Amino acid sequence: MKCLMNVCPDIKPISYILAKDIVNIILEYYGRIKYKNGKYINIIHKHDERYNIIDPIITKKMRIMQNTELELNGSGFYFEFGFDTIKSVGLVYDYNFSFTNKFEICYYDTRNNGWEQIRTYL
């Protein structure tokens, strides 16, 4: 009889049969799954080749979060970032920071000693 573990109620997953400590040791040895805050999560080891694919994305998100300026009362924010492929070109996101109750997205281009901005307000 063929059946999947979640379909056949008489077959229990290995995590129910083995002690949780043993399952954690096996998964940590494997290196791709970690038990954190009561849940099993997938991780990518920094020596895995897939890490090189997501590392630039994570680095950019961290840079954006570190450079975000918040309004003193916490009601607004401002952050900007430049494009990796084109130097001196980027985007600015501004909500309730420069103007009250306005969300601004601004494209800027400072190449060739110029200053071009295209702004959109929502």
pLDDT digits (tens, 9 = 90+) for 41-61: 777 777 778 778 888 888 888
Residue 39 lies in a domain: no
| Domain membership flag for residue 74 | yes
Residue 23 placed within a domain: no
> Into how many domains does the chain fold?
1
**E strand map for the chain:** 33-36, 39-42, 69-70, 77-82, 89-95, 103-109, 116-121
Cα 11–chain centre separation: 37
Q: Is residue 95 part of a domain?
A: yes
Cα 84 to chain centroid distance, Å, stands at 17
Q: Is the pTM of this model over 0.85?
A: no
Print the domain residue range for 96.
60-121
Identity of the amino acid at 56: P
Question: Looking at the domain assignment, is residue 117 inside a domain?
Answer: yes
Q: Does residue 54 lie within any of the structural domains?
A: no
| Cα angle 24, 26, 31; round to 5 | 90
Count other C-beta atoms under 10 Å from residue 112's C-beta: 8
* 97 in a structural domain: yes
Tell me if 69 sits within 8 A of 49, measured CB to CB. Answer: no
Per-residue pLDDT band for 25 (boundaries 50, 70, 90) equals confident
**CA-to-CA separations, 120 to 30, 52, 117, in angstroms, rounded:** 49, 34, 10
The verdict on residue 13 lying in a domain is no
